[in-house]
Amino acid sequence: MRKSTRPLGILSISSAAVLWGLNGVIVNMISLDAFTIAFFRVFLASLILLPFMVIFRVNDLARITSCWKPLILNGLLLSLGWAFLFASMKLIPIAEAVLLNYLGPVFTAILSPVILKERIRETSVVALLMSILGICLISHEELIRGVSGDILGIIYGLLAGLSYAGFIIVSKKLREGQSSLTTAFYSYVFAAIFLAVISRPMAPSLSTSEWILLLILSGMNTCSAVTLYFYGLAMVEAHKAVVLTYLEPLSATIMGAVFLEQLLGPIDILGGALIVISGYIVAKA
């Protein structure tokens, strides 16, 4: 049964990653700060998924009492990850922001010996060195110019990667006992609570097109994409799921070039390739 469903899991995760590549374009077209956009993303996503929870997963409410702590943690990591990522996308090219976010697997491999008392692998050290070189290449222009906004964008991207590392670990643990719909819904609810406290969002004055973009970000790129990701994660090993999600940087690069005219130079591409390869090395270890 596992072998017959595996292709569906691969397709689900790959589709989610491609959809996420559009996030940066949408974020740059909405005149709100990054944390407020992240709040409305998860808040509207929670409202969209609520009827489905009532219809299909009404009994799951009792079952989550056994895992409410990791669900809250997942919501916190999700809120920080998306908020920092959106903040980075506002300041530097979206492809660079996404690539910095995808240092998550490398961070996971490096932090595991500290947090989980695991033996550090030689491949993890190699991956870390490659990713550091990749970061330097991607951010070389920003560092040379010394523009505070660009450097802050890089820092936000790295913080998003750290949050993503925790999200990978907690999500896989949650999917062992919960459905993809339940995991996604409660992660959004707790993320919305955290972001409401942090950003204190007010009713925004947005154009019709901006509201449509928020709904696309919440409905298609969040409800559909993240639920697809959780669904696929149940069929695909975590390290292989990480490799599949590297379709997002490729998608973001194409979307940024097409919609925002953000073209990466040869050095940026080389740096991005080093980060992708370092993540692949960690995933295959």
CA dist 38 and 40 (Å) reads 6
Indicate whether 1 pLDDT > 50: no
pLDDT score at 194: 94
Answer with the residue of higher pLDDT: 277 or 110.
277
**CA distance readout (Å), 3 to 15, 227, 235:** 19, 21, 9
Lowest mean pLDDT among 83-92, 178-187, 233-242: 233-242
Indicate whether 100 pLDDT > 80: yes
pLDDT score at 271: 87
CA dist 103 and 106 (Å) reads 5
CA dist 271 and 276 (Å) reads 9
**207-263, pLDDT tens digit by residue?**
999 999 999 999 999 988 877 887 887 787 766 777 778 788 888 988 998 999 998
Lowest mean pLDDT among 60-64, 68-72, 92-96, 231-235: 60-64
Quick one: average pLDDT of 125-129? 79
Lowest mean pLDDT among 29-43, 123-137, 175-189, 190-204: 175-189
Q: Would you say 249 and 198 are in contact if contact means Cβ atoms under 8 Å apart?
A: no
Residue 171 confidence class, pLDDT cut points 50, 70, 90 = confident
Indicate whether 45 pLDDT > 50: yes
Residue 57 confidence class, pLDDT cut points 50, 70, 90 = low
Quick one: average pLDDT of 4-24? 84
Tokens describing residue 157: 């991207």
For the chain, the average pLDDT equals 82
Most confident stretch, 2-6, 101-105, 145-149, 162-166: 162-166
Quick one: average pLDDT of 2-26? 82
CA dist 255 and 257 (Å) reads 5
pTM over 0.75: yes
**134-162, pLDDT tens digit by residue?**
888 887 766 666 556 688 998 999 999 89
pLDDT score at 274: 87
pLDDT score at 249: 85
pLDDT score at 209: 94
CA dist 120 and 143 (Å) reads 31
Indicate whether 122 pLDDT > 60: yes
pLDDT score at 147: 59
SS3 call for 124? helix
Quick one: average pLDDT of 24-45? 94
